[in-house]
Amino acid sequence: EIVMTQSPATLSVSPGERATLSCRASQIVGGNLAWYQQKPGQAPRLLIFGASTRTTGIPARFSGSGSGTEFTLTISSLQSEDFAVYSCQQYNNWPYTFGQGTKLEIK
Amino acid sequence: EVQLVESGGVVVQPGGSLRLSCAASGFTFDDYAMHWVRQAPGRGLEWVSLITWDGGSTYYTDSVKGRFTISRDNSKNSLSLQMNSLRAEDTALYYCAKAVAATGGLFDCWGQGTLVTVSS
């Protein structure tokens, strides 16, 4: 099983600033890496797939990068609606695995 | 609009059984693989099971193999998860999720979830 490790567990950032979230895979997953956003009481929402491709309707301030085992989600200028939990997921091999999530909170 | 609506979550005793359902609408159901993903209270997301577009192949995470069975009825646009021999560690919010293709593990739409609590 591929273990996904996210850091940090919690990130405190002020609105308008940049947030950088990291995700590491225990094995190479190629570009088969997705990022999801989850707000309290809501289902996860797919933001990024293929490590760097935004889903339709996702603002350009969200960007993904990386390949192999190291990946990054960057939110360039945080808006109030961006404070949420972000999870990475590898879909290169089953069992498909998620990171434990990074909680992005208002500083 | 794609919609997934889960149902069937209740409080059940350890060792008991439960069947979850997911009603799908807004897309051609039999074109896509479907999944169950769960989230224990205060924990991260955990993939549980996959069924391919035609039901021909199914996959499970190790902790539920032999206890859970995923199935689908393409004539009714519905997905199910039969859960037997339930354990306390199966307590979670169970999401139905649509894959982006006929197989594979990328999910582009999720339901709101149904809560399963295993407790005596």
CB-CB neighbors (< 8 A) of B104 in chain A:
91
Query: Residue A93 gets which letter from DSSP?
Result: S
Contact yes or no for A97 and B47 at CB 8 A: yes
Task: Kindly state the tokens that stand for B90.
Answer: 């199966």
Give the separation between CA A46 and CA A44, rounded to whole angstroms.
7
Candidate from B50, B100, B108 with C-beta closest to A94: B50
Candidate from B44, B105, B108 with C-beta closest to A100: B44
pLDDT in tens, A14-38: 999 999 999 999 999 989 999 999 9
pLDDT score recorded for residue A105? 95
Beta-strand runs (E) in chain A = 4-7, 10-13, 19-25, 33-38, 45-49, 53-54, 62-67, 70-75, 85-90, 97-98, 102-106
Please name the residue of chain A whose CA is at the shortest distance from the CA of residue B110: A43
Give the separation between CA A106 and CA B17, rounded to whole angstroms.
42
Contact yes or no for A98 and B44 at CB 8 A: yes
In the block, which residue shows the tokens 């350009």?
Answer: A60
Please name the residue of chain A whose CA is at the shortest distance from the CA of residue B107: A46
Nearest Cα of chain B lies from the Cα of A100 at a distance, in angstroms, of 5
Contact yes or no for B62 and A95 at CB 8 A: yes
A40 Cβ under 8 Å from any chain B Cβ: no
The alpha carbon of residue B37 and the mean position of all alpha carbons in its chain are separated, in whole angstroms, by: 6
pLDDT in tens, B18-44: 999 999 999 999 999 999 999 999 899
Contact yes or no for A49 and B45 at CB 8 A: no
Give the separation between CA B80 and CA B73, rounded to whole angstroms.
8
Average pLDDT of adjacent 10-residue blocks, chain B of 120 residues: 96 97 97 97 94 95 97 98 98 97 90 97
Please name the residue of chain B whose CA is at the shortest distance from the CA of residue A55: B108
Give the separation between CA A3 and CA A98, rounded to whole angstroms.
8
In the block, which residue shows the tokens 């035609």?
Answer: B54
Contact yes or no for A94 and B59 at CB 8 A: yes
